[in-house]
Amino acid sequence: MATDMPPHPPSKHHPDPHKTDLSLRGGHGAEEEPLVLEPPQGPRKNNYLLHLGLFVATIISTTIAGLWMSNTGAPSIWIGVIDLGPGMPVLLFEPYTGFDPGGVAWHEPWRGLYFSVTIMFILTCHEMGHYIAARIHKVDVSLPFFIPFPSPLIGTLGAVISMRERIKNRNALMDIGAAGPLAGLVVTIPLLAFGLWLSDVVVIAPENAGLSEGNSIFYLGLKYLVKGELLPWGGRDVFLHPIAWAAWVGLLVTMINLIPVWQLDGGHVAFAYFGRRYEWASRWFHNLLLVLAVGVLAYVFFDSWHSVAPVPYGVPPLWRNTWSEALSNAVSAAFPWLLWWFMLRFFMRRSGRYRPPADLEPLSGGRRVVGLVVMVVFVLIFMPIPLRMG
């Protein structure tokens, strides 16, 4: 993600004393557009030790996360067979979802590298897409700041780069905003396909189902191409290899960054494409995250409450969620959208604006095509329910 949020943003009540604000008014009732004259200043230096330290720390945290997931290396644990009648045995598998330190192969750290190397490569390509595009347009930009996060699930909160000066025009804003997601996807797609090829398709006992990754149009289609069947379906699902899980996380990160709000990559692309109209649309999309959270909460609650084990017609249900289990599943599924709404709200209040800075000169035809491509990509990889328990 590329961001240019200042630590103490100026406003109309607290103008920046180092800049001159000249309000210009165009003809025919045009809105005032301040012209900001900035004193020339050279590019700021990167703190290479800080960047390297965060990069190494994130490698360590993601490797540990990979070790947690791999455990003994078995993708699933066979727990038995249910005989539902002549010729109708169902193999039951329980994915490993516990985090027992004693079961982690600490003496085999290479097991964690399947996940770590994959996710770090995807994040690096994403951020370097932004960085290279910014340097091409002579925008002062920092190296990527990787964010380690001691979690057994992913081990990182991603990475960001800082735009240390105003992006001068909409063409540059489109290039910089779109370069990251597109560069990340170029490596994510083949890695995800390879990871799915390494993954097992199993029948999972519903009462033992753990965390399930979200589905998008693109992800469903790719699973069908690699595995030859629509998954999940009929109690069958793919149990992800660490490479596939890391690539799916990369897909999720790209989706989040393409939300057309604030200074996310999608916000940059949307403002470059739509201009002033983006200000209103950004507020609308931001509030839509709350509506989406409520919709996910309601859908998952009723779906979980009425879920039963997939058994043939006439066979009594083997298992059904209680209302409290259904509510817990629903809250966990809706929580990401609530979290992203609050985080965006916090940062927008600090920055004092919904749109990224850029002048309003016309966007070239080629950049409009790029903008349309990015919008289509967002629709294809959008996951209404990113993660779900049960």
Q: pLDDT per residue over 293-341, tens digit each?
A: 999 999 888 887 766 444 444 444 444 556 677 788 888 888 888 888 8
157 is written with which tokens? 């909160």
**Nearest residue to 240 via CA among 271, 211, 217:** 211
Coil, helix or strand at residue 93: strand
For the stretch 202-251, pLDDT in tens is 887 655 556 788 899 999 999 999 999 988 887 788 888 999 999 999 99
For the stretch 172-209, pLDDT in tens is 999 999 999 999 999 999 999 999 999 988 887 655 55
Q: Does 34 score more than 90 pLDDT?
A: no
Number of structural domains the chain divides into = 1
Coil, helix or strand at residue 184: helix
Domain range holding 341? 2-389
pLDDT of residue 193: 96
Question: What span, in angstroms and rounded, lies between the C-alpha atoms of 113 and 190?
Answer: 18
39 is written with which tokens? 């004193």
**Nearest residue to 156 via CA among 75, 74, 57, 238:** 57
